[in-house]
Every structure is written in C-alpha cells, then in structure tokens.
Structure 1
Amino acid sequence: MPSAQDPFYVVKDEIQESIDKLQSSFHQWERISSDSGERVQQTKELLASCESIEWQVDELDKAIAVAARDPSWYGIDDAELEKRRRWTSTARTQVGNVKKVVGAGKEQTGIASASGMRRELMRLPNAHETDRSNLYTAHQANDDFITSESDRQLLLIKQQDEELDELSASVERIGGVGLTIHEELLAQDKIIDDLGMEMDSTSNRLDFVQKKVAVVMKKASAKGQIMMILFLVALFIILFVLVFLT
C-alpha cells in the first residue's frame, strides 16, 4: 500500500485543501446579495480558483497516466491506479459544479453600476495576482512531484543493482561448490577403478590356485585320496576329543 509520503498523496492533499477552501468561499458567495459589488468580486475569485484547481487536477491526471504505463516500476497496482483516477474524477466534478453555479449566477447578476464596475476593475489585478500565485504553486507542486518520482526511480535502480550483485555472488558460490563436487567425483572414480583392478588381479590369482589344486587332485590316485580323507577324519576326531573332553 502506498505510504502517506507518496508524491501523489502530497499533491492530492494540497488540491483537496484548495477544494475545501473553494467550497467554503462558495457558501459565503451564496449568502451575498446578488446585486452587490462584493458578490461580483467573489464571483471572479471563485472562477479563478476553479480554473487553477482544474489545471492542478489535469496535471495530476497526466502523472497518473505516466504511472499507468508501468505500475510496478512505481510500486503501485491497478487497484491503486483506479482509486487515484476516481479521486481526480470526483475532484473535477466538485470543482465543475461550483464553477457551473457561479457562472450561472454571474450571468444572472448582469452588469453592475458604473461605480461598482470601476471598483471591480480596480480590484481585478489582485484577482489576477492571486490566480498567478495559484498557478505558480501548482507548477511548484508538480515539479516537486516529478522530482520525487525521479528520486524514487533512482532508488529502485540502486536496489535492483544491489540485488543483481547479490545474485552474482550467489552464482559464483554455487559454481565453486560445483567444481568441488566435480573434483570429489573424479577422485572417487579413480578409487573405484583401482579397486576394480585389484579385484581383477585377485580373481586371476584365485583362478590360478584353483587350477593348481585341480592338477594336484588329478595327479593323486584314488587310494591316495582315500588315505588323505581318513587322515583328515582321524585328525578331526583327535582335535574334537582334545577340545571338548579334556
């Protein structure tokens, strides 16, 4: 959710304050007699304020349109954009209603007396000065808004650079672990190869012994084999007696 320090809300609060003052002046305008010089002066000031506020709202709408091109870049979503558009639409409607009523009242009032008109003409420069002051304030607020958005973009770019640096460091660490695992696998593969060679050598020696035994057994006669078996049985009996009976 955007914070209260969002440039949009700073400008929005300033515009809302101007709208509140406009409505307060409008209520005072309604209580003034329609044929008085004060009402004519108040009418001009109200219309000037309406134009100034409408200009500020239009500038805010332009900023919203810029943010709508890439909401994620500005840290907002579609719901927030729609909320901002609704507010500017409501503000424009409020100002438009005041402007419409005041403009209609100006037409109904007609032309004031010569002396009253002269006084109004003398006061007009002050109204224009007020208008220029409001326009300057609006321009200044818009410049501050743009500057804040630029600072925010720079901050986002800096954060993205830091995240990319961290990602690069993580990739380098993973690469180092991968190389270590590769070296360990090569070492284990060598050990397995050596073990296989030893097993082959042992198997060859065992085959050689078995062949020798077969040759010896083949050369021995049947009688010699029987004598050997009897000797082994006798030896087994002697060992059994010595171990279990003594």
Structure 2
Amino acid sequence: MSLEDPFFVVKDEVTKALNRTRGLYQHWQHLRKEGIVFSKDEVQKTTAELRNSIRSIEWDLEDLEDTIAIVGKNPSRFRLNSAEVVQRRFFVQQTRDEIGNIKEKLQIMRGQDFDQSAKKVIFLVTMHS
C-alpha cells in the first residue's frame, strides 16, 4: 500500500475548487455587467456560492500552511528538500493572492451596491418631498 503525500491530495482539491471558483467569478462578473438584466436572486445566489467557495479554499490553505510549517522544520524527515518546501509555500501564496483579488472585487462591488441603494433612496425621498 503506497502512502500518498497529503499535501498533493489537498493541493488537488484546492486546485479543483479554485477552478470552480474562477468559473463562478466569471459568471458573477457577467451578472454584474451594467445594462444586462438578471434576477437579483441569481446575483445573490452566485455571490453567496462564490463567498462560500472562497471560504472553503481559505480553510484548506490554512491546513496546507500548517503542514508546510511542520515539514519546513525538518524536510529530510519527510524526504523533501528545501526547494520542494519553497514550491509548496509558493503554491499557497499564489492561491491566497488570487483568492484575495477576487474577495477584494467582491467587497468593491458590495460597496457600489450599497452606494447605488443609498442613491435610490435619496432619489425617491427627494422626488416625494
């Protein structure tokens, strides 16, 4: 029975989840384009799915970081060299950066939605005054 390195198992899961998240993000961007009318429910559902997917990836990345920290203290014990440990850290950081960029865009759009809602309320109040 061969023992598979758990890093690669989790890395594969993260990679698959990241690909799904990229697809969700592209769909979310399409839904957000001005001039295109979609149901508010669909936008909210996609946004929620995207946030959940990001959260799940972040948890997996935390697990990977924990294992890398353990392995990094004594790579030879785990039959790894320092270059492999560096590659693992790079994967985690690269993934974290990409997820961070998506989260940032979600936050920006959330702020714009709030601004738009506030403008609509102000407009309606001034119309009825």
Please confirm whether the aligned pair reaches a TM-score higher than 0.5, indicating the same fold.
Answer: yes
For 1:42 and 1:71, how far apart are their aligned partners in 2? 41
User: Does 1:85 find its partner at 2:85?
Assistant: no
> Which residue is 1:244 aligned to?
none
Distance change in 2, residues 1:73/1:67 (3 Å): same
For 1:39 and 1:31, how far apart are their aligned partners in 2? 10
Q: 1:46 touches 1:99 (CA, 8 Å); kept in 2? A: no
Distance change in 2, residues 1:37/1:111 (3 Å): farther
Give the secondary structure class of the aligned counterpart of 1:76.
coil
Which blocks of at least 5 consecutive residues in structure 2 are unaligned? 34-38, 118-129
Computing the radius of gyration from Cα coordinates, the structure with the larger value is 1
Q: Deviations over 1:119-172 (max 9, x none)?
A: xxxxxxxxxxxxxxxxxxxxxxxxxxxxxxxxxxxxxxxxxxxxxxxxxxxxxx
> Which residue is 1:66 aligned to?
70
From 112, 121, 127, the equivalent of 1:108 is 112
> TM-score, normalising length from structure 2?
0.76
For 2:68 and 2:82, how far apart are their aligned partners in 1? 11
For 2:8 and 2:23, how far apart are their aligned partners in 1? 22
TM-aligned CA deviation for residue 41 of structure 1: 2.1
Q: 1:40 touches 1:106 (CA, 8 Å); kept in 2? A: no
Q: Which amino acid aligns with 2:65?
A: D
TM-aligned CA deviation for residue 94 of structure 1: 0.9
For 1:14 and 1:100, how far apart are their aligned partners in 2? 23
Aligned residues: 109
For 1:33 and 1:71, how far apart are their aligned partners in 2? 46
For 2:19 and 2:40, how far apart are their aligned partners in 1? 25
TM-aligned CA deviation for residue 36 of structure 1: 2.5
> Which residue is 1:98 aligned to?
102
> Which residue is 1:53 aligned to?
57
Which blocks of at least 5 consecutive residues in structure 1 are unaligned? 114-246
> Which residue is 2:31 aligned to?
32
TM-aligned CA deviation for residue 106 of structure 1: 1.9
> TM-score, normalising length from structure 1?
0.41
Give the secondary structure class of the aligned counterpart of 1:32.
helix
Q: Deviations over 1:169-208 (max 9, x none)?
A: xxxxxxxxxxxxxxxxxxxxxxxxxxxxxxxxxxxxxxxx
